[in-house]
Amino acid sequence: MAPMDERKKGRKARSNSSQRWLARQRRDPFARQASETGKASRAHFKLEQLDERFRLLKPGQRVLELGAAPGGWTCYVEERIRPAGLLLACDERPITTSGDTVVIDDLYGTEQTDKKIANILGSRPVDLVLSDMAPNISGIRTADQARSMELVELAEAAADDWLKPSGTLVVKIFQGDGIESWIRHMRKKYDKFKLVKPKASRQDSREMYAVAERFRAESFRTGA
């Protein structure tokens, strides 16, 4: 097949995919609700449902959010930790905020980002680490799953570094290879661990959220 034909085929496939995505968005009640109520994204409702179940957020908390763009979780957290709370939101893409959030315009996992977080937090850890990070989907399931697990492990590492004893980690995870061994590992580091799917997550998606509560920081950090 000629190169031009290949490019046309690729453009047609992307166009069809975009049309399917738009049609799904129009059918999705949470996407519609986000648009109608001025929320940054439908992700707002996922965190809201997790918060209702696990009571994650309270006024005055210190929170580190990874993969914050476009701001669906950010805006919800801002409302819940007022007054006197602190939210650090990390992403290289633009984040919608009310102005109260400290935005770190970089991806988590770089030395530069770590230094920025350390300068802001000092010696005071956070109560909660949130990660809604997800890979750019290539369509190659094994590669996508491997990249997803890399992001999960980055969130875990962030909690290792910045979470207070008995703090909580919430991280997006996709069902697939590597999950079971990671869950076993996390049960050694946290007193409570649940894998849940909020109603706002699409039912045909492999997306779930891990909620790890009561971090055993002293045992973990001393190597006990």
Q: How confident is the model at residue 141 (pLDDT cuts 50, 70, 90)?
A: confident
| Between residues 214 and 43, the one the model is more confident about | 214
Q: Is there a catalytic annotation at residue 172? A: yes
Q: Residues near 107 by Cβ (< 8 Å), separated by ≥ 6? A: 90, 91, 92, 113
User: How high is the pLDDT of residue 9?
Assistant: 45
Domain residue spans of the chain: 1-38, 39-221
CATH number, span 39-221: 3.40.50.150
pLDDT (mean) for 143-161:
95
Q: Does the bond joining 83 to the residue before it have cis omega, within 30 degrees of 0? A: yes
Burial class from Cβ neighbours inside 10 Å (0-12, 13-18, 19+) for residue 72 reads buried
- Catalytic member of 39, 46, 172, 189: 172
Q: How confident is the model at residue 4 (pLDDT cuts 50, 70, 90)?
A: very low
User: Measured between alpha carbons, how far apart are the two ends of the chain, in Å?
Assistant: 61
pLDDT digits (tens, 9 = 90+) for 19-33: 544 445 445 554 554
pLDDT digits (tens, 9 = 90+) for 37-80: 544 457 889 999 999 999 999 999 999 999 999 999 999 999 99
Q: How confident is the model at residue 17 (pLDDT cuts 50, 70, 90)?
A: very low
Per-chain mean pLDDT for the chain: 84
Q: In DSSP terms, which residues pair with 64 in a beta bridge?
A: 88, 129
pLDDT digits (tens, 9 = 90+) for 155-201: 999 999 999 999 999 999 999 888 999 999 999 999 999 999 999 88
Q: In DSSP terms, which residues pair with 102 in a beta bridge?
A: 88
